[in-house]
Amino acid sequence: MTVEVILAAFVGLVTGALLALWLDSQTLVRRVQDANAEKSKAHADLQKFQIRHRALEQEVQAVKMASQTAVQDTTQFEATIARQLAEIEASRDQLQTTIQTNEALRENLLEAQDRLEELEGLSLMAEEKLAASEAEHNRLVGDFQLVEAEIALLEAKVAQANDAGQQAQDCLAALEQKVAAAEVQFSAIEAEKDLALTQLQEAELTAAEQNARIATLEKQLQEAEAVRQELTAAQEKLHTADKHIQTLQDNVEDAHTMMQYSGKNELQLIRGIGPAYARRLNEFGINSFSELAKCEAQQIATIIKKKNWQVADIQDWIDEAKALAARLGSDA
């Protein structure tokens, strides 16, 4: 009865494990479908943005025919931005999908390890029962040998005392019944031993299958970890690309600002430099982007008489002046 309960519990555990794995696979498929839908939506939004951006680009070309070279550069920068944005979006979707797959694999590995521990417990129980069966078998063999010795002794007494033959025959019949009962009990123990051995073999086979599955899951987890590391490197690369895109956008805005320049002090085109700062810089002979780009931050701070509470970032002025001087060819 105990063996049947153990087998029923084992079958229930295996069935539950298979059902849990199937549910995990269905959940993973749904997550992948949702991620693909979000990716398609983001791609559609990006295409709308590109269409609007191209329309604005055409309008700028119609108004600023005299600045054809600057508009072509702007178009090239915008195409680069659109392509890199699409690559960033695709990499982010792939990263989310890989992270979810990695988490699912970790959960499956933990569940498989728990099931393996349960199977090992069942295997230990079967081994203990087998050992008890062997001890009982040895005891019955000893009883059987003892009975055989008693039978031999009684047969010798019967040969010596024929007058007590009937009594000896009765005693012999009783002993034969005892031997028969012992043989039946011995056969039952042998059958129970064979059943325990069969259960132990099945438990070992199941444990081997679970070990193989765990090895497969560990391999998949290692592959997922390698993908995660690659995606981390891709994220760093995307971060660098974001910075580059921001620089390109700043250059585009600077080009548009230069296109709209209509007689202002040139230095006022730099973010943070107003009329007062521009006038002070002009008084010290700094009138153009190239001249400002050659200065040191401490020198500019002294010229504009910057206070500690003021938030002007002079190094950003110098960097922007260098970019504008290189981009627009300013030599004033």
Query: What pLDDT score does 250 carry?
Result: 66
pLDDT in tens, 265-293: 889 999 899 899 999 999 999 999 999 99
Secondary structure class of 272 (helix, strand, coil): coil
All structural domains of the chain, each given as residue ranges with its CATH number in brackets, are 2-132+196-259 (1.10.287), 266-328 (1.10.150)
Q: Determine the residue type at 76.
A: Q
Backbone angles phi, psi at 259, to 5 degrees: -65, -30
Report how far residue 253's alpha carbon sits from residue 262's, in angstroms, rounded to the nearest whole number. Answer: 16
Query: What pLDDT score does 299 carry?
Result: 93
Average pLDDT on 138-158 reads: 74
Residue 34 pLDDT greater than 60, yes or no: yes
What value does the CA radius of gyration of the chain take, rounded to a whole number of Å? 45
Residue 218 pLDDT greater than 80, yes or no: yes
pLDDT in tens, 67-107: 677 667 767 867 887 788 888 788 788 878 877 887 877 78
- Model pTM score: 0.29
Query: What pLDDT score does 258 carry?
Result: 55
pLDDT-wise least confident of 5-14, 151-160, 207-216: 151-160
pLDDT in tens, 185-206: 868 878 887 887 888 788 788 8
Query: What pLDDT score does 330 carry?
Result: 40
DSSP for 131-155 reads HHHHHHHHHHHHHHHHHHHHHHHHH
Tell me how crowded residue 169 is: count the other CB atoms within 10 A of its CB. Answer: 12
Confidence of residue 312 (pLDDT cuts 50, 70, 90): confident
Q: Of 175, 196, 189, 195, give the one whose Cα is nearest residue 141.
A: 189
Confidence of residue 318 (pLDDT cuts 50, 70, 90): very high
State the alpha helices, DSSP H only, in 260-329: 275-283, 289-293, 297-304, 314-328
Q: Directed axis angle between helix 2-63 and helix 68-160, to 10°?
A: 180
Q: Directed axis angle between helix 165-259 and helix 2-63, to 10°?
A: 10
Q: Of 234, 223, 241, 239, give the one whose Cα is nearest residue 94.
A: 234
pLDDT-wise least confident of 110-114, 253-257, 308-312: 253-257
Q: What percent of the chain has pLDDT over 70?
A: 82
Query: What pLDDT score does 289 carry?
Result: 92
